[in-house]
């Protein structure tokens, strides 16, 4: 399980400090897929980076902490300072754009042995990787291909293969299917769900597509302006959203077979500026496993 304790993450740019994540306290249980939704600038990517432990200037943790409840190889607990050593072993990352993440001048097979610690048994790792990629539905020739020779969907499959190869306990997937079209998107999401069921690890999925969240996740985390607006079991959040912003996210996009007018609240919120849905830090349990935040005093009329 991962515990975020009153986490505040800031960026120092020039003489200014920007608080991208501002007072987030919550617990992510083991073995579930958690979806994170919110618009650009809501702090979801910053939060993911912090959990992944990729904290580099100008970003820094200005308050609070993250507990991972994991032990490193030497038996000591994993912390923000030491989590880098766990990358691709107990924690891994599936980025949005696979083209920019695979090394373009190295064949796919070699990318599997391009980690520290695989030096002595490269051949065995390669054999295992070949079998594993076959299991993920990739043709055997992929191991000898360069990234540019593969389609977008195949590259994303390779990325998922790399991220899950060492059976990590935690996977962070940042918009894993945004660049793909619907047919390939469904294949990739199904693959991710099947792998999770098999390994029973925790996956954090960032997406702005509420349909993707409904299909894939067990829990939903809704962020707005650096704070958590709502957090709960996916079934409950979609069936009975507690916060106006969550409702707006769910209702904003049209569905096939439904002719009602959409996106009206979105335009009103746009006109209301960035504060329309601002909430206080701190969550209240309204139903079992379903939490919501209170509207901030300076929030807009819609909240």
Q: Are 63 and 8 in contact (CB under 8 A)?
A: yes
Positions in 83-112 near another protein (CB under 8 A): none
272 binds another protein (CB under 8 A): no
Q: Are 60 and 10 in contact (CB under 8 A)?
A: yes
Q: Are 107 and 143 in contact (CB under 8 A)?
A: yes
Nearer to another protein, 182 or 297 (CB): 182
Minimum CB–partner distance for residue 8 and another protein (Å): 24
238 binds another protein (CB under 8 A): yes
Binding segment for another protein (CB under 8 A), chosen from 69-77, 88-96, 126-134, 260-268, is 260-268
- How many residues are there in the chain? 303
Q: Which residue from 146, 65, 67, 150 is spatially nearest to 111, judged by alpha carbons?
A: 146
262 binds another protein (CB under 8 A): yes
13 binds another protein (CB under 8 A): no
256 binds another protein (CB under 8 A): yes
Q: Which residue from 84, 24, 74, 27 is spatially nearest to 225, judged by alpha carbons?
A: 24
3-state secondary structure (DSSP) of residue 198: helix
Sheet strands side by side (includes 91-94): 91-94, 170-174, 202-206, 33-37, 219-224, 227-233, 290-295, 279-287
209 binds another protein (CB under 8 A): yes
- The correct pick among 162, 212, 229, 276 for binding another protein (CB under 8 A) is 212
Positions in 26-85 near another protein (CB under 8 A): 29, 31-32, 39-40
Residues that bind another protein (CB under 8 A): 29, 31-32, 39-40, 152, 180-186, 189-190, 193, 197, 208-212, 214-216, 218-219, 233-235, 238, 248-250, 252-257, 259, 261-264, 266-267, 269-270, 289
């Amino acid at each position: 399980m991962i515990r975020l304790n009153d986490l505040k993450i800031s960026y120092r740019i020039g003489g200014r400090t920007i608080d991208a994540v501002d007072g987030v306290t919550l617990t992510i249980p083991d073995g579930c897929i958690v979806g994170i939704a919110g618009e650009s600038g809501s702090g979801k990517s910053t939060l993911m980076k912090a959990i992944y432990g990729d904290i580099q200037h100008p970003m820094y943790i200005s308050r609070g902490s993250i507990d991972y409840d994991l032990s490193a190889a030497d038996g000591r607990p994993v912390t923000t300072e030491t989590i880098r050593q766990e990358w691709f072993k107990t924690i891994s990352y599936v980025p949005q754009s696979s083209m920019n993440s695979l090394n373009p001048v190295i064949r796919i097979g070699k990318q599997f042995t391009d980690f520290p610690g695989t030096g002595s048994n490269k051949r065995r790792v390669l054999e295992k990787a070949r079998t594993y990629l076959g299991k993920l539905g990739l043709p055997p020739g992929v191991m000898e291909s360069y990234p540019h020779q593969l389609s977008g969907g195949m590259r994303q499959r390779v990325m998922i293969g790399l991220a899950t190869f060492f059976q990590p306990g935690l996977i962070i997937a940042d918009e894993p299917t945004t660049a793909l079209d619907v047919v390939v998107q469904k294949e990739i999401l199904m693959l991710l769900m099947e792998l999770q069921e098999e390994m029973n690890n925790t996956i954090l999925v960032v997406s702005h597509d509420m349909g993707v969240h409904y299909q894939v996740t067990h829990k939903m985390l809704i962020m707005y302006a650096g704070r958590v607006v709502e957090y709960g079991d996916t079934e409950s959040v979609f069936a009975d959203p507690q916060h106006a912003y969550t409702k707006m996210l769910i209702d904003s996009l049209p569905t096939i077979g439904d002719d009602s007018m959409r996106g009206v609240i979105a335009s009103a919120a746009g006109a209301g500026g960035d504060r329309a849905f601002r909430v206080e830090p701190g969550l209240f349990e309204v139903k079992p496993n379903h939490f919501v935040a209170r509207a901030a005093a300076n929030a807009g009329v819609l909240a």
